[in-house]
């Protein structure tokens, strides 16, 4: 890393491409001036947008390509059509070749993860990647991972997730020792979550200096913000994330319909408008935009595909923070400690599996 944080931006990613990515980058730059950007994509579309943002002058380059991964491309199709040449790939490649410090893309999650694994490869000693989401809670924010990179995880992989999520929490929340818990279900004698129990044993017994392990939490602890980092495998994590998003939309819909029903409730709504705006802001998905791909040999930030410039700016700022406060080193330190304890080294078979 140089003194300036250099971000490669997949300008063609997301539902709106450069028309969101370029203004979003400019917004982020207003708040974090020590950044430069590499916009990757169709120069004819990017150039006029860059010229329209005086703030970007001298702070960015454009790397042209005609090829873009589509939002509905399956990962295998994206890899076949987009490897070596798409805006997504070339942005990742800029990180791989150390021309950039991190990638931000609003492109499709499956394709971005597949290309990231293929281009950047896994970090040494990590078997599986995870997608870490920033989750709004009653206490502020928590980090929840994995919300859908892979399905299932054994105990050691869950421990890796705990270490990686803590490194991210240390940076984002400016904490020395974030609290960490494993997502579980209530009944204590229930069978079958052996890997979750075993991960708890490892986290309790091995001494991880950079995290404060608190045992198990349940689904309703996510919204409470009981701990800073909640660890689970990708299937249940994705279901939790989508269920929370769906429930929030459901309640917003109930509220809208209830408020519009009578003239008295409409008047009440007008008077309490400030309160509703506060609520809206609390629940604004743009404020917490930016999932982080963890476990790869490079920093990759996933922005929501449908976000606007403000939301993309949030994702850019997450990328900035991860580079500025050195996510990769913090993860490696955590994992090194983990290796130093009585953990078995990862088997060649499982490493090969992670690349397949």
Site residues for a copy of itself per CB under 8 A = 74-76, 109-110, 113, 137-138, 148, 150-152, 183, 185-193, 218-224, 232, 234-236, 238-251, 253-255, 258-259, 261-262, 264-265, 267-276, 278-279, 282-283
Sign of CA dihedral 290, 294, 300, 305: negative
Give me the residue label for tokens 């939790």: 240
**Helix/strand number for the chain, H first, E second:** 14, 11
Q: How far is the CB of 276 from a copy of itself (least distance, A)?
A: 7
What DSSP character marks residue 260? T
Q: How far is the CB of 250 from a copy of itself (least distance, A)?
A: 4
Q: How far is the CB of 30 from a copy of itself (least distance, A)?
A: 28
**Gap between the Cα atoms of 116 and 130, Å rounded:** 12
262 vs 347, which CB is nearer to a copy of itself?
A: 262
**Gap between the Cα atoms of 325 and 317, Å rounded:** 12
Q: How far is the CB of 274 from a copy of itself (least distance, A)?
A: 6
Q: How far is the CB of 141 from a copy of itself (least distance, A)?
A: 12
Nearest Cα residue to 290 out of 316, 271, 254: 316
Q: How far is the CB of 289 from a copy of itself (least distance, A)?
A: 17
Query: Is residue 264 packed enough to be buried (19+ CB in 10 Å), middle (13-18) or exposed (0-12)?
Result: exposed
55 vs 70, which CB is nearer to a copy of itself?
A: 70
Structure tokens at 271: 């008077």
223 vs 346, which CB is nearer to a copy of itself?
A: 223
205 vs 281, which CB is nearer to a copy of itself?
A: 281
Count of other CB atoms within 10 angstroms of residue 350: 13
Q: How far is the CB of 126 from a copy of itself (least distance, A)?
A: 17
- Helical H runs in 56-133? 75-82, 87-96, 109-120
Structure tokens at 211: 């995290």
265 vs 329, which CB is nearer to a copy of itself?
A: 265
End-to-end Cα distance, the chain: 30
234 vs 334, which CB is nearer to a copy of itself?
A: 234
57 vs 264, which CB is nearer to a copy of itself?
A: 264
Give ∠ CA 168-173-174 in degrees, rounded to 5.
95
């Amino acid at each position: 890393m140089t003194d300036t944080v250099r971000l490669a931006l997949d300008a063609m990613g997301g539902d709106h491409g450069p028309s969101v990515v370029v203004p979003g980058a400019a917004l982020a730059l207003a708040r974090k001036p020590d950044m430069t950007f590499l916009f990757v994509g169709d120069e004819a579309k990017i150039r006029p947008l860059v010229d329209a943002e005086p703030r970007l002058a001298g702070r960015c380059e454009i790397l042209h390509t005609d090829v873009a991964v589509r939002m509905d491309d399956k990962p295998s199709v994206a890899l076949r059509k987009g490897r070596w040449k798409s805006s997504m790939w070339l942005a990742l490649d800029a990180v791989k070749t150390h021309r950039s410090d991190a990638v931000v893309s609003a492109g499709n999650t499956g394709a971005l993860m597949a290309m990231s694994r293929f281009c950047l490869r896994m970090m040494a000693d990590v078997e599986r990647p995870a997608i870490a989401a920033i989750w709004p809670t009653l206490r502020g924010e928590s980090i929840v991972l994995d919300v859908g990179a892979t399905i299932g995880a054994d105990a050691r992989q869950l421990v890796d997730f705990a270490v990686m999520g803590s490194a991210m929490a240390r940076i984002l929340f400016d904490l020395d020792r974030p609290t960490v818990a494993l997502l579980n279900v209530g009944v204590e004698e229930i069978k079958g979550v052996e890997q979750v129990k075993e991960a708890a044993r490892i986290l309790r017994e091995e001494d991880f200096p950079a995290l404060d392990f608190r045992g198990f939490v349940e689904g309703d602890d996510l919204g409470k913000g009981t701990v800073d980092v909640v660890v689970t495998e990708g299937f249940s994590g994705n279901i939790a994330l989508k269920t929370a998003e769906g429930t929030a939309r459901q309640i917003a819909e109930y509220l809208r319909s209830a408020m519009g029903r009578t003239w008295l409730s409409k008047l009440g709504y007008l008077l309490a408008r400030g309160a509703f705006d506060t609520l809206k802001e609390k629940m604004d998905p743009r404020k917490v935009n930016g999932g982080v791909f963890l476990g790869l040999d490079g920093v990759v930030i996933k922005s929501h595909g449908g976000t606007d410039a403000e939301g993309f700016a949030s994702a850019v700022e997450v990328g900035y923070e991860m580079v500025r406060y050195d996510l990769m080193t913090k993860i490696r330190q955590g994992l090194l400690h983990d290796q130093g304890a009585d953990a078995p080294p990862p088997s060649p078979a499982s490493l090969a599996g992670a690349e397949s």
